[in-house]
């Protein structure tokens, strides 16, 4: 792989950036497997448990676009290193957490670190790997690492929690983050947008993050505190004020965090709506399945991690290899929809989980279909999200789809866990019947999310807009059949 940094130097830089990406992705799946153990030790209620996930996703998604601008302004290498160090330090604090609040706050700050890492790493790649062919290879490697991070996380989460305790899943980030930061300081050249001084939309980032936080608090606590209680009604009102303020700010500012004009592109609009819905459903299912396997079927955390591994491997195979082959043959839009349909069938199977179920008969089929569906549709959504976007806005479009994924996870978990509590009659009971009934309600809600995602993809994503950009993340040789007609 040749570049202006030399072949060896470029490969080393790509390895470093891949390790940073791996750490961020790993942190999602590794925490989910350990969540039941954390719940028992720190005495989380079912309503508060989701904040371990959503606090991370909220700050990650809410600050992702702003962090990209900060990197452009102050130097991507510098911001990458700051993000890595922050992520590592806060991982230590999370591992030492003695209370629910301490863990939730550490997870939120971890999300800030992840938001600094992700766009900086992507921007460094595009600045170092200058030719289209080099960039394709680098982005393909980064995508494969992301998928492998998920698969590794479900396995490591079980192994570490079972052998060293749940705190070790946070401690593992420290040596990785510090090592990558030190090597990045030595090996990665500094890059900025020369001659361009972007203005940061701090007001936009603040209002969207606070608005979503207020909304998620109201939804997650409404069942326990009462939907018409003063603090819940007030939280909904605060959420509306901040979210409306965000829309007004974005429409009036000259340098918006989220340019609404980009959503005039149908494929970009459809990809982001579908990604928001899919990751909202998938994140919740992952969380609840982990609890079901441990609390209802009484598997150990180690065995639970192993049980998620086939799902992770299925995602990795589809995302890193087969999905691009399928898009080459059938075009992007049908592959996205097919992936969503596979996921919907998997969710449908999981809506009937019994209280005395069996992993191979009741859980495995649905999990595999979800993994195949997610891996199939994920690459296609990335392709569609940058379809028709000018070259100088490709990075922004990539940031928007990643924001949709993270915010979708946060909102989806809060809404579907609230539905789960309604199904379980809002009781903090150990009754397996009540718990499985609640899971059924949540999975039906998740199924509705995915069906809406299918409708969004069918209506908005256009073949002629999206397929020419498959080369950016697909294999090197793609036939003209999948290229858009401009």
What element of type H or E holds 308?
A: helix 301-317
Would you place residue 22 in the very low, low, confident or very high pLDDT band (cuts 50, 70, 90)? confident
- Stated pTM of the model: 0.84
Claim to verify: residue 76 and residue 117 sit in the same structural domain = yes
Chain centre distance of CA 255: 25
Q: What is the pLDDT of residue 49?
A: 86
Q: What is the pLDDT of residue 4?
A: 47
Q: What is the pLDDT of residue 480?
A: 37
For 100, residues 6+ apart whose C-beta sits below 8 A from its C-beta are: 42, 43, 44, 48, 51
**What is each CA distance from 317 to 150, 346, 378, in whole angstroms?**
12, 18, 12
Of 331, 280, 329, 273, which Cα lies nearest the Cα of 454? 273
Number of other residues whose CB lies within 10 A of the CB of residue 65: 25
Provide the residue range defining the domain that includes 249.
201-254
What integer is the mean pLDDT of 305-310?
A: 89
Claim to verify: residue 296 and residue 412 sit in the same structural domain = yes
Instruction: Quote the mean pLDDT of the chain.
Output: 83
With 90 as the cut, is the pLDDT of residue 281 above it? yes
Q: How far apart are CA 283 and CA 52, in angstroms?
A: 12
For 120, residues 6+ apart whose C-beta sits below 8 A from its C-beta are: 67, 68, 71, 76, 77, 79, 80, 83
Q: What is the pLDDT of residue 129?
A: 73
Claim to verify: residue 98 and residue 121 sit in the same structural domain = yes
Q: What is the pLDDT of residue 431?
A: 65
Q: How far apart are CA 211 and CA 203, in angstroms?
A: 12
What integer is the mean pLDDT of 68-89?
A: 89
**Residue positions counted in the chain:** 486
Q: How far apart are CA 119 and CA 20, in angstroms?
A: 11
Q: How far apart are CA 345 and CA 343, in angstroms?
A: 5
Claim to verify: residue 300 and residue 418 sit in the same structural domain = yes
With 50 as the cut, is the pLDDT of residue 483 above it? no
Claim to verify: residue 397 and residue 413 sit in the same structural domain = yes
In degrees, to the nearest 5, what angle opens at C-alpha 395 toward C-alphas 449 and 133? 110
The SS3 call for residue 130 is coil
How many separate domains does the chain show?
3
Instruction: Please say whether the beta carbons of 370 and 282 come within 8 A.
Output: yes
With 60 as the cut, is the pLDDT of residue 486 above it? no
With 70 as the cut, is the pLDDT of residue 24 above it? yes
Claim to verify: residue 313 and residue 194 sit in the same structural domain = no
Q: What is the pLDDT of residue 484?
A: 45
Claim to verify: residue 194 and residue 273 sit in the same structural domain = no
Q: Which tens digit of pLDDT belongs to each residue from 95-150?
A: 999 999 999 999 999 999 999 998 888 778 777 776 656 765 676 676 667 667 77
Q: Which tens digit of pLDDT belongs to each residue from 396-434?
A: 777 788 889 888 988 999 899 889 888 876 545 556 777
CATH of the domain at 116: 1.20.1250.20
Q: What is the pLDDT of residue 394?
A: 66
What integer is the mean pLDDT of 91-95?
A: 95
Q: What is the pLDDT of residue 339?
A: 94
Q: Which tens digit of pLDDT belongs to each residue from 219-261?
A: 878 877 788 899 999 999 999 999 999 999 999 988 888 888 8
Claim to verify: residue 406 and residue 438 sit in the same structural domain = yes
Domain closes at, from 168, 183, 199:
199
Claim to verify: residue 180 and residue 191 sit in the same structural domain = yes
Instruction: Please say whether the beta carbons of 34 and 49 come within 8 A.
Output: no
Would you place residue 391 in the very low, low, confident or very high pLDDT band (cuts 50, 70, 90)? low
| Residue 256 or 349, more confident | 349
DSSP H helical segments within 98-229, as ranges? 100-128, 132-163, 168-171, 173-187, 202-225
Claim to verify: residue 421 and residue 277 sit in the same structural domain = yes
Claim to verify: residue 477 and residue 386 sit in the same structural domain = yes
Q: What is the pLDDT of residue 473?
A: 44
Q: Which of 12-26, 355-369, 409-423, 453-467 has the highest mean pLDDT?
A: 355-369
Claim to verify: residue 157 and residue 182 sit in the same structural domain = yes
Percent share of the chain, pLDDT over 70: 86
Lowest-confidence range among 134-138, 153-157, 215-219, 373-377? 134-138
Number of other residues whose CB lies within 10 A of the CB of residue 174: 16
| Residue 442 or 127, more confident | 442
* Tokens 């790997």 -> residue: 129
With 50 as the cut, is the pLDDT of residue 3 above it? no
Q: How does DSSP assign 243-270, residue by residue?
A: HHHHHHHHHH-SS-SS-GGGGGSHHHHH
Q: What is the pLDDT of residue 430?
A: 52
Q: What is the pLDDT of residue 397?
A: 79
Q: What is the pLDDT of residue 273?
A: 96
The SS3 call for residue 300 is coil
What integer is the mean pLDDT of 296-302?
A: 91
């Amino acid at each position: 792989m040749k570049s202006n940094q030399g072949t060896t130097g470029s490969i080393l830089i790509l390895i470093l950036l891949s390790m940073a990406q791996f750490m961020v992705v790993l942190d999602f799946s590794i925490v989910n497997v350990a969540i039941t153990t954390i719940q028992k030790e720190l005495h989380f209620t079912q309503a508060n448990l989701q904040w371990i996930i959503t606090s991370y996703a909220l700050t990650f998604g809410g600050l992702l676009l702003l962090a990209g601008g900060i990197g452009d302004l102050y130097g991507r290498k510098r911001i990458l290193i700051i993000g890595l160090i922050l992520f590592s330090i806060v991982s230590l604090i999370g591992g030492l957490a003695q209370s629910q609040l301490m863990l939730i706050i550490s997870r939120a700050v971890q999300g800030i670190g992840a938001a600094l890492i992700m766009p900086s790493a992507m921007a460094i790649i595009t600045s170092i790997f200058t030719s289209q062919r080099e960039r394709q290879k680098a982005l393909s490697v980064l995508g494969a690492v992301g998928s492998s991070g998920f698969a590794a996380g479900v396995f490591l989460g079980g192994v570490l929690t079972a052998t060293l305790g749940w705190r070790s899943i946070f401690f593992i980030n420290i040596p990785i983050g510090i090592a990558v930061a030190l090597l990045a300081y030595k090996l990665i050249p500094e890059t900025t947008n020369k001659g361009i001084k972007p203005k940061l939309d701090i007001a936009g980032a603040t209002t969207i993050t606070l608005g979503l936080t207020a909304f998620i608090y109201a939804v997650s606590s409404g069942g326990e505190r009462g939907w018409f209680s003063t603090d819940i009604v007030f939280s909904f009102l605060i959420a509306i004020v901040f979210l409306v303020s965000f829309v007004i700010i974005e429409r009036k500012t000259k340098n918006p965090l989220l340019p609404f004009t980009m959503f005039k592109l149908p494929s970009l609009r459809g990809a982001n709506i579908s990604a928001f819905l899919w990751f909202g459903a998938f994140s919740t299912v992952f969380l609840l399945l982990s609890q079901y396997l441990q609390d209802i079927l009484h598997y150990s955390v180690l065995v639970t991690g192993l049980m998620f591994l086939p799902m992770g491997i299925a995602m990795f195979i589809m995302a890193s290899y087969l999905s691009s082959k399928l898009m080459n043959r059938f075009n992007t839009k049908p592959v996205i929809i097919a992936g969503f349909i596979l996921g919907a069938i998997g969710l449908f199977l999981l809506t009937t989980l019994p209280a005395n179920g069996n992993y191979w008969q009741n859980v495995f089929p649905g999990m595999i279909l979800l993994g195949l569906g997610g891996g199939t549709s994920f690459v296609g959504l990335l392709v569609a999200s940058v379809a028709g976007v000018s070259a100088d806005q490709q990075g922004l479009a990539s940031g928007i789809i990643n924001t949709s994924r993270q915010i979708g996870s946060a909102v989806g978990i809060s809404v579907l866990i609230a539905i789960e509590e309604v199904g379980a009659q809002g009781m903090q009971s150990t009754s397996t019947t009540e718990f499985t009934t609640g899971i059924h309600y949540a999975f039906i809600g998740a199924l509705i999310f995915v069906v809406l995602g299918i409708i969004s993809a069918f209506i908005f994503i256009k073949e002629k807009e999206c397929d020419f950009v498959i080369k950016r993340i697909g294999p090197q040789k793609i036939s003209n059949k999948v290229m858009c007609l401009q």
